[in-house]
Amino acid sequence: MTETGALTSANTISVAEAYLSLLHDRGIDFLYVGAGTDTAPVIEAYSRAEEAGLRFPAPILAVHENLAVGMAHGYTMLTGRPQAVMLHVTVGAANAVCAIMNAARAQIPVLFTAGRTPLLEEGRLGARSHEVHWAQEMYDQGGMLRELVKWDYELRDGTNVEQIIDRALGISMTEPRGPVYLTLPREVLAQEKKGCRLRGSYLAATSPHPAPHAVTAVARALIEAKMPVFVCTNTGANPATVALLQEIANRFGIGVAENKPRYMCFPSDHPLHLGFDMASVFREADALVFLDCDVPWIPALFQPNEDTFIAQVGPDPLFGNYPVRSFRSDVAITASSQSFLEALIPALAEAGGEPRQSVRHAAAASQSRHMRQAVALREQGDRAKGGPITKLFLSRCLQEVKSEDAIIVNEYPAMREQMAFNQPGTFFQLPSSGGLGWGMPAALGVQQAAPDKVVIAVLGDGAYLFANPAACHQAADMLRLPLLTVIFNNESWDAVQKAAQGMYANGHADQQLKKRGHAPISSLKPLPDFEKYVEASGGYGERVTERDQLIPALLRALHAVRHEKRQALLNVMGV
């Protein structure tokens, strides 16, 4: 929203009403609210809205802060449109720090707001009226989030609320996108404000475009290479990049790999899809272009060959808000992936990239076939071994039952190599920050944005607990969101155990894991019957313990969400 629209006005009488009118006018669909004493002016505004003919974002009551921010994250992740959150002063904002870090690292624009403890002890409408108004105040409320947001400010007077909202949204939507933080004192929201201007727009800066000489250098390196590869992590956040990568692969024979992808970046069935095993890709590649990859590889595990050409591309290709990040590169290009790929296509053609397309295509297609054969062998080995349900088996079963347009929101268990995604916007993965409890709230936001689609949240048992599941199931019931939640329940922190094993090979933790089945500080036993959580909120729940039970259980759960239009949960016991 960057063009100036026709000016109209809203018949407001308070800053709260003006604030909400401006949000709606600027394209905000929902205000996710964790209510408190500071939301009194907002409640009064919503109560008068119909009578006054005012249009506000639809209010979504969230009974936990992680739920509020996670739903906004999920809705924006699918639609590309930023949403607004309002939480309760310092304590609410503090509860949301993990969710804001996820949004920041995923470059998700969110207008994050929190009330502020009333400024005054008496003398004005909205002044302090409760004991907590002294204890909840901090010297620097914004400080707890300042490192994670692009901008923070306090609305000090209602006179310039329009300018402040437009600046907040413009900064949030300027690449690299991310959350912004605005604190809202109760007295300011309660101030009188007769009327506000509506124009349906705010100013965000245009996307960064690549330097022509850098694009030319990358194009030449790619066509001179025997095995050039694009590596994607977050490009699928912009669905337009999927078609551009397909055009480049088809016209110039360049393969595409997905490195811990958090979106669907490239069609699984494309013959030049090189998979997800970066060690295998790096062994063969002699030119690598990393698109929107914050961690292109892990130096302690494996690295590209020393003579491999490397380019890093993104709106902030050096990820300047990461304190330490030193991956080598021959060129770093500041550009959105879309603008870079659009510039690269004619540069590849001009540099003579099409005549030898068949040679590069053959090399990449051979690598792709080897990758698919290895994936098939792993699946066959798992099937032959049998026994308890594994993540691989769960992933294959999900692939078998999901429709082509179903949306998977994954917080750990689903294995991308065992699943196929060919439509943009059908897969989302936990951000690299790894703040647990993201998956289920984000999936609820996705379901809200795509009410006619099947949305499946695939979670580990720990991730489910961190999501404050009672709050999530209550929201799904209240908002009539028929989400399917599939929990892979191995009754342990699997990632914690593997970290200890990886750091101390054959160490005491590894020996204890082999002897007892779990290492210290990793067993979650005893866990509750998760399937009963969803039943308490009117949903369908089922526990699955055997392999032959899984497909029938998934079909029953899908029937509940598709036809009964109610939420469902499968508690899948595995190893």
What is the CATH classification number for the domain harbouring 70? 3.40.50.970
**What pLDDT, on a 0 to 100 scale, did the predictor assign at position 6?**
60
Three-state SS at 533: helix
Tell me the average confidence (pLDDT) per consecutive run of 10 residues in the chain, 575 residues long: 64 97 98 96 98 97 98 98 98 98 98 96 96 97 97 97 98 98 98 94 96 98 98 98 98 98 98 98 98 97 97 98 97 98 98 96 98 98 98 98 98 97 98 97 98 98 97 98 98 85 87 82 92 98 98 98 98 97
Within a domain: residue 171? yes
**What pLDDT, on a 0 to 100 scale, did the predictor assign at position 515?**
82
What's the number of domains the chain is made of?
A: 3
Within a domain: residue 282? yes
Residue after which a domain boundary falls, among 169, 198, 227 = 198
143 and 223 share one domain = no
Q: How far apart are CA 323 and CA 148, in angstroms?
A: 12
Domain hosting residue 280, numbered range = 212-371
351 and 390 share one domain = no
246 and 160 share one domain = no
**What pLDDT, on a 0 to 100 scale, did the predictor assign at position 3?**
46
Within a domain: residue 498? no
Q: Give the dihedral sign, CA 106/65/48/14.
A: negative
Within a domain: residue 33? yes
87 Cβ contact list (under 8 Å, min separation 6): 33, 34, 36, 65, 68, 93, 95, 96, 112, 113, 114, 115
536 and 418 share one domain = yes
Exposed e or buried b per residue across 325-334, where buried means at least 16 C-beta atoms within 10 angstroms of its C-beta = eebebebbbb
Q: Up-side HSE of residue 407: CA atoms within 13 Å toward CB?
A: 29
pTM: 0.96
Residue after which a domain boundary falls, among 132, 165, 198 = 198
291 and 316 share one domain = yes
Judged by phi (left if over 0) then psi (alpha if -120 to 50, else beta), residue 179 lies in: beta
Q: How far apart are CA 3 and CA 313, in angstroms?
A: 28
365 and 394 share one domain = no
Within a domain: residue 207? no
**What pLDDT, on a 0 to 100 scale, did the predictor assign at position 2?**
43
Residue after which a domain boundary falls, among 142, 172, 198 = 198
267 and 173 share one domain = no
367 and 392 share one domain = no
